[in-house]
């Protein structure tokens, strides 16, 4: 047991060294989920950035080139217009929809591989 644990810790240590040089040094989660009433959205953050090679700044539009961390969407885009003043009144729901669904829609129109653009394809209701 001790030996297995040692190997696991060593592997984790090596991994962190490997990652320390890249943008992923700042990223903690590979997958981000939004468990909202309309249905759970599963966002494969790492896949979008690393495998699909979408520029960080395409989504993190307020970061400067080279930055790998900073304010997140909901720091500016709030649930209501009143609260969202900093984000020019663009509420969180619209910000995500324009960013996520917007890109999926554009790629679909261009006949390129894309993610879900239909409401219930992206929002998945938990099975009862």
- Per the listing, tokens 């997140």 go with 72
Smallest distance from ligand HEC to CB 118, Å: 6
Alpha-carbon distance of 38 to 40, in angstroms, equals 7
Q: How far is the CB of 4 from ligand HEC (least distance, A)?
A: 28
With CB under 6 A as the contact rule, the residue among 6, 7, 8, 42 that binds ligand HEC is 42
Site for ligand HEC in 58-87 (CB under 6 A): 58-62, 68-69, 71-77, 86-87
Find the binder of ligand HEC among 8, 14, 85, 93 (CB under 6 A).
93
Contact present, 120 and 39 (Cβ < 8 Å):
yes
- At 2, phi and psi to the nearest 5? -60, -40
85 token code pair: 């003043």
CA angle, 19 as apex, 13 and 25 as ends, to 5°? Answer: 110
Q: Which residues bind ligand HEC (CB under 6 A)?
A: 23, 26-29, 32, 34, 36-38, 41-45, 47-49, 52, 54, 56, 58-62, 68-69, 71-77, 86-88, 90, 92-93, 95-101, 103-104, 107, 113-117, 119, 122-123
């Amino acid at each position: 047991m001790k030996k297995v644990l040692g190997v696991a810790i060593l592997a984790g240590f090596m991994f962190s060294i490997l990652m320390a040089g890249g943008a992923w040094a700042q990223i903690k989660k590979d997958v981000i989920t939004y468990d909202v009433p309309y249905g759970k959205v599963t966002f494969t953050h790492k896949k979008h950035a690393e495998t699909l090679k979408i520029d960080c700044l395409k989504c993190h539009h307020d970061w400067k080139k080279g930055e790998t961390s900073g304010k997140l969407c909901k720091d500016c885009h709030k649930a209501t217009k009143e609260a969202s003043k900093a984000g020019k009144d663009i509420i969180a729901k619209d910000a995500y929809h324009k960013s996520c669904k917007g890109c999926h829609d554009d790629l679909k129109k261009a006949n390129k591989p894309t993610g879900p653009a239909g409401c219930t394809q992206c929002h998945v209701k938990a099975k009862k």
